[in-house]
Amino acid sequence: MKRARTTFLRSGLIALLVGSSGFLAAQCTNNNVLTGSAVTPPCPGTTTVPCVQGGQYALVNVIAGNQYTFSTCGASFDTQITIYNNAAAPWLGYNDDACGLQSTLVWTATFTGQLRVLVDQYNCANNTTCAPLQITCAAPPPPLTNDNPCGATSLTVNTNCVFQTFTNAGAGATTGVPAPSCSFYSGGDVWFSFTAPATGIVDIETAAGVVTDGGMAVYSAASCSGPFTEVACDDDSGTGLMPLLNLTGLTPGATYYIRFWEYGNDNNGTFQICLHGITSIPSGDCVYQLQMFDSFGDGWDGSTVGISVNGSPFTNYTVTGSSGLALIGVNIGDILVVQYTAAGIYQGEISYTLGILGGGCGFNSGSPPATGIVLTQTIDCLPPPAPPEDCEGGVTICNGQSFSNNASGTGCSLDLTSSNYGCLASAERQGTWYYFSPSSAGNVAFTISPSNAADDYDFAVWGPMANPTCPPATAPVRCSYSGLGGDTGLNYTATDNTEGAGGDKWVNDLPVLANQVFILYVSNWSQSGLSFDLDWDLSNGASLDCTVLPIELIDLRALAGDGEVEVQWRTASELNSSHFVVERSQDGSNFAPIGSVAAAGTTQGLTEYGHVDRAPHTGPNYYRLRQVDLDGSTTFSYVVQASCHAGGNVLGEPFPNPTSGNVAIPVTWSEGGTVEVVLLDAMGRWLSSEQLPIPNGLAVAEFPLGDRPAGTYLVEVRFPDGRSERTRFLKH
């Protein structure tokens, strides 16, 4: 069920747990009776009080500064531990279910004297059953050296996960660095640093010790003094409630900083961390990235993902911990086949994604993955469109008719964080994204009906906005996170705009104006993989159609080859489209038609198009599309460019363009060899460069741009024959 944490210490804010039976569970009253005499545990060391019954307490002699762990994990009944100063009334700490239905509490002594350790049967009841109480004492840790970025502990990126143990006990709050965007941070952070390998790929795993619920963020900075820019942040993607980050697109050779803290800063102590990744890029026209995950963190029990290229035997990959990564070099025209083989009963913990390195995940297995041959693909080295499980791949709703859908996972992008998920406390579970825009004003309501009435579906609506903005920048305007199964949605009788786990599944209808744009996320919290129906209830004149969302052109590029240029484009949706006219120019201003391609008409799915210019001009060629609707109305696309030379030097169009992360530039050179690819700012000043081997006539240069400011950039390719070509792209 949807529930909160169950460990509380008196040092901070007290949060009460809403349990499954509907009542509030917290510390037990200090009315237990003493069992035995006072105990003085060795320090460091462990002692056990063999029998503490529900309703009794053990008296423990403690010393200020020492860290004590009290555990009833060996008990046969559902325990609770509450601690009190023997000489004063206020409670000092409480735990319910740290180890199954039994309890563990870690506490750093704030005084020297006697401590009452109360043991109760849930819910604060007495019994006559013995529970062994294990007491472990640890001396105060030495002063931390990595309590700030300039004291960060340097970690090595290995090929496999090799855990090292550290502690955040005694750590304070770091000043001068922006607060992390995820988890619950209130200080107690420690710092690590690492150097990004040549691939720019690093996985960071953590494992529980005393800390069982951690948060982690990665920052880039020019030095340990900052300024710091957050690259990624995670709360619970690893084993249990521990964080996990899978990073790509890092700048090779750059130093990055890891910030780790305990959720709430109320249970600090030991934890484990490891960094691993792939340090070299395999050869090929492009590289596919296979990312594998195990939500429980204990591996796949023999399950494998098999990859075959051009009919070769399958190379099988698996995971032994929380995650794994593999890179596969492929060439344009190769046939790639993906096969999944299941082993073991915990398939619901397993998922994986596959896509072009730096170009999106393309294929997401979902959880549990389907078995057998799951993907057959001819390699074109083009980045795939975002899936509907990602905000950027959202489906445009073109009318007010009902529709059905389901989701296979959480997509490839982290779209929901604490800054925008509103009531969706679990963030993304198993959901799909939609865009809708009213063509006339009124009120909008809808009903989401799961095909399995027991499934718990949640949803959120963001807007209004001028265009879909992904991920949403603010909290949703309508949101339901009800823990109940069955129908849910917006109606005309609800009075609340948002509701948590205790809600009734219904929130207020949405008043809308013409031409406003809204984003809808529908989440299957039950993760059943089963579908839902959505029925609209429009009133007061509201209507939904695509007149305000014309053809959604999501990609246009020009790829120069041997004496020809292939113009490729893709649309996410179309309404009443007739055809596309491909136009070419030598100067970027005066265009003439060179071909026509029939359009799909009306569609809400991805549609791909292409046209080959078999007689391009020597030098730069500029291309655009004239989109013609059935009523004769036209719109023009943006302009792309490809350069051709008699000597066989060709600089392709950067993609994606615009970009928010990496940019890739295809380079063709029929003679083969090595070229220099240089990244320049808008004024032509050098930023970085790389030597690019072109063994088979075509290669792709890639530049990570995560830390660079928005604006226009130039890419210059310098050929050994003395020629050079430039193109430009936009980073937003």
In this prediction, residue 399 carries a pLDDT of: 63
The Cα–Cα gap between 312 and 309 comes to: 6
Check: CB of residue 307 under 8 Å from CB of residue 317: yes
Residues 6+ apart with CB under 8 A from 61: 38, 39, 40, 41, 113, 114, 115
Instruction: Give the chain's residues under pLDDT 70.
Output: 1-26, 141, 358-361, 383-385, 398-410, 412, 529, 545-555, 561-562, 588-589, 604-605, 638, 645-651, 670, 681-685, 696, 710-712, 721-724, 732
Distance from C-alpha of 290 to C-alpha of 266, rounded to nearest angstrom:
37
Q: What is the pLDDT of residue 547?
A: 42
Q: 457 with 529: CB under 8 angstroms?
A: no
- Residue type at 167 in one-letter notation: T
Per the CB < 8 A criterion, the answer to whether 720 and 675 are in contact is yes
Q: What span, in angstroms and rounded, lies between the C-alpha atoms of 213 and 192? A: 18
Domains of the chain: 7-138 (2.60.120.380), 149-276 (2.60.120.510), 286-378 (2.60.40), 391-538 (2.60.120.380), 550-644 (2.60.40.10), 648-732 (2.60.40.1930)
Neighbours of 256 (CB within 10 A): 22
**CA-wise closest residue to 111 among 62, 149, 150:** 62
pLDDT tens profile 197-249: 888 889 999 999 999 999 999 999 999 998 999 988 998 888 888 999 988 77
Q: What is d(CA 93, CA 52) in angstroms, rounded to the nearest whole number?
A: 18
Strand partners of residue 46: 136
Edge-to-edge order in the sheet of strand 270-276: 164-167, 270-276, 202-208, 244-247
Tokens coding 111: 């005084």
Q: Could you tell me which residues come within 8 angstroms of residue 411 by beta carbon, excluding any fewer than 6 positions away? A: 361, 364, 386, 387, 388, 389, 390, 393, 428
* pLDDT value of position 588: 67
**Helical segments of 478-523, H only:** none
pLDDT tens digits for range 412-447: 677 887 778 899 987 777 788 888 888 889 999 999
- The residue length of the chain stands at 732
Would you say 621 and 641 are in contact if contact means Cβ atoms under 8 Å apart?
yes
> Token pair of 293, please?
């995950």
Q: Which of 145, 153, 413, 415 is nearest to 258 (CA)?
A: 153
Predicted local distance difference test score (pLDDT) of residue 21: 29
Residue 539, burial from CB neighbour count under 10 angstroms (0-12, 13-18, 19+)? exposed
- Classify residue 19 as exposed, middle or buried by CB count within 10 Å of its CB (0-12, 13-18, 19+): middle
